[in-house]
A and B are shown apart, each in its own frame.
Chain A
Amino acid sequence: MDKPKFVYVSYINSTPEKVFNALLDPEMTRKYWFNHHNASDWKVGSRWEHRIFDEPATVHVVGKVIESNPPNRLVVTWARPKDEGNDQKSSRVTYDVEPFGQSVKLTVTHDEFGDDTEMFESVSFGWPVVLSGLKTLLETGEILAAPSESSCGEELKAAQAK
């Protein structure tokens, strides 16, 4: 078993239901996830897509739902659209949402990168920005990231150019 590459933990003053919803709700994700949203019916085995909010044809990440247990756990695979179905180019993201006192502990684990170092580099830049934006949005209602500032696609291009 490979060890995880990244483990991110954020404590958020909110409820598990609100945190879980914020991972899936398009109007929420566009505010902290570089104007993207995650589209799926979130049933185990279903496909999901990470798309630009107002350009749904532009898909930057695709995958399958492996486990869904609202509001505590969501596990999905993660790949570029061109690598869909290629296990060597597909990684895995696990979201764990647990009550912690009066707040919520959100743990995001990204693992099983295989030999995909480009994806590894690009997400290591993106996750902290996305997750601290999520925390600020839920705690204050403020939008941290400038929507046009960046996108997953640009990060991928930058990583590939290296």
Chain B
Amino acid sequence: MAQNNIHITPIKTYLAVGFGLLVLTAITVGASFINFGTFNVTIALTIASIKAVLVAFFFMHLFWDNKLYLIVFFASLLFLTIFLTFTMFDTTQRGAIYEEKAKPIRNEAPIYAK
């Protein structure tokens, strides 16, 4: 009685999603050989995000399940975004406050012995 309302995904759906993921992998590898300048990262991350949504919604069943799980998952992504965004603001804009230049961390490292 209890599990009668469980959604059983058709095999076709799983295979189609798997095939879609493989096609997107091929596209992202192909796109990496073309130079789109600064859009390279954007394109790679957009394709990866589409793949992640496919995995989460179909393999992980979020499309059919209680939406509470979707909220929990989005909460993790929300806080990761806050973490990433504010850290990037800090690390890329600090030069505006005081002078800072990239320098070797360990001057005595074997790679600098030339």
Query: Are chains A and B native binding partners rather than an unrelated pairing?
Result: no
